[in-house]
Structure 1
Amino acid sequence: MPFIADRLSAIKPSPTIAVTQKAAELKASGRDVIGLGAGEPDFDTPDNIKAAAKAAMDAGQTKYTAPAGTVELRKAISAKFKRENGLDYTPDQITVGVGGKGVIFNAFMATINPGDEVIVPAPYWVSYPDIALMFGGVPVFVACPEETGFKLTAADLEKAITPRTKWLVLNSPSNPTGAAYSRAEMKALTDVLVKHPHVWVMSDDMYEHLVYDGFEFCTPAQVEPALYDRTLTMNGVSKAYAMTGWRVGYAGGPVALIKAINMIQSQSVTHTASVSQAAAVEALNGTQDFIPKNAEVFKARRDLVVGLLNQCKGLTCKTPEGAFYVYPSCAGVIGKTAPSGKVIASDTDFVSELLEAEGVAVVQGAAFGLEPYFRISYATSTEALTKACERIKRFCEALK
């Protein structure tokens, strides 16, 4: 269509949302479908957070706020960064976005010129490259194979940096693999970045509180203070606080960058919902007791799913350090024939045939930039996960 902007030709709809919608459509048509595509906790938002939102409505906090977010929320975010990450950000160094995705969108729009390169370790969250492409950026994918724990190495980072590099995007723990960088691994990366002062760091810490087996989370500006002035430390309340639908992401960074992000927000969505911001204040300032309890539930689910998947013929699954995803390899089933008669030539074929034959919806590794794998979100009930893994095992056994 001639009236559609050329920039849209470079991007595609989110594959993870597409899988979730497909599963919902099949359920609506009467199919028995278990959806493991959505990165959304099945826990309800805690009562104290919901109560804070209700109180805000009753108090009339339903008007416009500053594009950067309310002062109260930005102070709560500053306190969180200091308390949990040892990072000093004043309220004028904080921006509140419409989810973490909104923060990333605004940051890239504010900084990327056509031809600027954005280093994206693969596997990656599906939106990083598309948002960069939207503003004329060039995603530079760096393969992070299973042999490196799906993590970027210092040597590979060094090779990827060019004079045109604008950003490195780091996501730990990772969507889609659950891989998380230890302090030593992070320090190796920050040592490289210190040598290249033109490279900015976007640290997506959305899954910070979902780490297991005693793993200690760290973030780049915390590990290497020399990077503080060129790091955007991004987080949000969606995952740890079970607040995906409230749409509150936030970031701390240099004043000039934050001002640019806020200027863009003032001319687009203006701000995230005032009531959601009030709820986020309570999330950050209120009790945190439920977070480790929820993390224990997620850990048990992780162990269950990893154990069951490793019993499936042709599949292997690494145990991740965090988040609520596993990223099993389906290399052992490539070339086999599904019950439908279709030869499985890729992970895309595998997930398509699995959905058709057994009603289990997962996301193909191709969507995340590393094949042949697929992503399972274990942010759903133990019963559903057990049943889904039984179906996956049955499907693998039916392959010829």
Structure 2
Amino acid sequence: MTLSKRVLKMEESVTLAAAARAKALKAQGRDILSLTLGEPDFPTPKNIQEAAVAAIEDGRASFYTVTSGLPELKEAIVQHFAAYYGYAIEPNQVTVATGAKFSLYTFFMSVIDPGDEVLIPTPYWVSYGDQVEMAEGHPVFVQTTEAHDFKVTVEQLEAARTDRTKVLVLNSPSNPTGMIYSAEELRAIGNWAVDRNILILADDIYGRLVYNGHEFTPISSLSEDIRRQTVVINGVSKSYAMTGWRIGYAVGRPDIIAAMGKIAGQTTSNPTAAAQYAALEALKGSQDTVESMRQAFEERLNTIYPLLAQVPGFEVIKPQGAFYLFPNVKKAMEIKGYTDVTEFTTAILEEAGVALVTGAGFGAPENVRLSYATDMATLKEAVRRLKEFMES
């Protein structure tokens, strides 16, 4: 028996692989500081936990729900869009899934035919390309530059476009760079996509995690034409410290949303009922913890960024959102005698006890990613170790 060609050409998630390696070394008794996963270190807020417990205790969580999500949860998402996106949607434009990652998967499986091309600006979140290939599409990576704050331009997109181009993936704030597109930049990209009948996949999962006066603009909010061309992916994992609950959702054209629900119906069925009731409370309950966590991330960024910039060979642009730093380490590798960024991150792990994520999996072979979604003491010690490693 042999494995499928599909799975053989898939890459392992570099973020999950780095986290697993760090955990394995910790289990061996090593002193390892892990800055790998994009996972808030805060517990899920108490009111959200209590909502899930109540749903379990009164029996609501014991049964299947509608595959596309609890009607009351979809209604809460409708209200969320009115409050934070500034426009009205209907429940038939919403589908809830087992995490935003699975929402992305069902989108690609719903709209991509063999040979269709998907434009993905680099650096990019690690799963976009593999998910496109699972749908038998072709990912076309469009290289951005640090000089332009890692943001793609209309001119670059037009140069990469062919008659097979069907989708543009747009992630703002970005994982891994933390950069945010301005309303003007988004309007130009949105109008370009509308004129060429290219779908926009807007990954807005970090939209409420922005810092130092910067603003998140949803591309879908800019015009009715752009909105019709856009499917929004979002979820509760990042803003509400609910990564383990696995609830994401998509908003867009009813025909695409219905197709995504059909994929879920033949794979996962409904998301876990108790998690859906927790997500309902997250969206409808107090939003105070969202802001307190955002402020904590902002303080960490403002503390750690200048310290990391002092590490020899680490050149870093200050991010505007999400919770990642993405330094260019080309000079650092030259100082230490490395030419491969993955080997360089392995050396940092083995010698300094700091787990970072190689930029190779993000389409950036001169960068590393570190997450500041952990406590300040760990962050300061990790940067101290990086500086010591570079100066040794």
TM-score band by shorter chain is over 0.9
Amino acid at match of 1:371: P
Separation in structure 2 between the aligned mates of residue 106 and residue 371 of structure 1, nearest angstrom: 29
The match for 1:236 is 235
Deviation larger for 142-151 or 86-95: 86-95
Separation in structure 1 between the aligned mates of residue 8 and residue 99 of structure 2, nearest angstrom: 25
Deviation digits for residues 191-243 of structure 1, max 9, x if unmatched? 2112211x101100000110011112111111132022221111000000000
The match for 1:358 is 352
Deviation larger for 222-231 or 202-211: 222-231
The match for 2:111 is 111
Aligned pairs, number: 391
1:277 matches 2:271 = no
Separation in structure 1 between the aligned mates of residue 207 and residue 385 of structure 2, nearest angstrom: 31
Amino acid at match of 1:100: A
Q: Is the 8 A contact 1:10 1:133 kept in 2?
A: no
The match for 1:121 is 121
Q: Is the 8 A contact 2:106 2:260 kept in 1?
A: yes
Separation in structure 2 between the aligned mates of residue 114 and residue 186 of structure 1, nearest angstrom: 28
Separation in structure 2 between the aligned mates of residue 107 and residue 10 of structure 1, nearest angstrom: 21
Q: Please report the RMSD computed on the Cα atoms of aligned residues, expressed in angstroms.
A: 1.0
Deviation digits for residues 138-188 of structure 1, max 9, x if unmatched? 000011111110111121112122111111111110111111111112112
Separation in structure 2 between the aligned mates of residue 302 and residue 267 of structure 1, nearest angstrom: 42
Amino acid at match of 2:199: W
Amino acid at match of 1:353: A
1:164 matches 2:164 = yes
1:239-254 mapped onto 2 (5 Å cutoff): 239-254=238-253
| 1:349 Cα deviation from its structure 2 partner | 2.0
> Which TM-score applies when normalising by structure 2?
0.98
1:161-240 mapped onto 2 (5 Å cutoff): 161-197=161-197, 199-240=198-239
Amino acid at match of 2:242: M
| 1:312 Cα deviation from its structure 2 partner | 0.8
The match for 1:314 is 313
| 1:3 Cα deviation from its structure 2 partner | 3.1
Q: Is the 8 A contact 2:183 2:219 kept in 1?
A: no
Unaligned runs of 5+ in 2: none
Separation in structure 2 between the aligned mates of residue 300 and residue 5 of structure 1, nearest angstrom: 47
Match of residue 338, structure 2, among 341, 344, 349: 344
Match of residue 384, structure 1, among 359, 367, 378: 378
State the SS of the aligned residue for 1:317. coil
Q: Is the 8 A contact 2:236 2:242 kept in 1?
A: yes
> Which TM-score applies when normalising by structure 1?
0.96
1:27-38 mapped onto 2 (5 Å cutoff): 27-38=26-37
Separation in structure 2 between the aligned mates of residue 306 and residue 347 of structure 1, nearest angstrom: 21
Amino acid at match of 1:47: K
Unaligned runs of 5+ in 1: 338-342
Q: Is the 8 A contact 2:191 2:226 kept in 1?
A: no
The match for 2:101 is 101
Separation in structure 2 between the aligned mates of residue 102 and residue 296 of structure 1, nearest angstrom: 29
The match for 1:340 is none
Deviation digits for residues 108-165 of structure 1, max 9, x if unmatched? 1111111100110100000000000111110000111111101111211121221111
Q: Is the 8 A contact 1:73 1:280 kept in 2?
A: yes
Separation in structure 1 between the aligned mates of residue 87 and residue 114 of structure 2, nearest angstrom: 32
Q: Is the 8 A contact 1:187 1:223 kept in 2?
A: yes
1:63 matches 2:81 = no
| 1:85 Cα deviation from its structure 2 partner | 0.2
1:269-308 mapped onto 2 (5 Å cutoff): 269-308=268-307
- Report the identity percentage: 42
Q: Is the 8 A contact 1:87 1:221 kept in 2?
A: no
Amino acid at match of 2:83: R
| 1:367 Cα deviation from its structure 2 partner | 1.0
The match for 2:390 is 396
The match for 1:16 is 15
State the SS of the aligned residue for 2:335. coil
State the SS of the aligned residue for 2:298. helix
4+ long deviations beyond 3 Å:
none
| 1:10 Cα deviation from its structure 2 partner | 2.4
1:110-149 mapped onto 2 (5 Å cutoff): 110-149=110-149
State the SS of the aligned residue for 1:277. helix
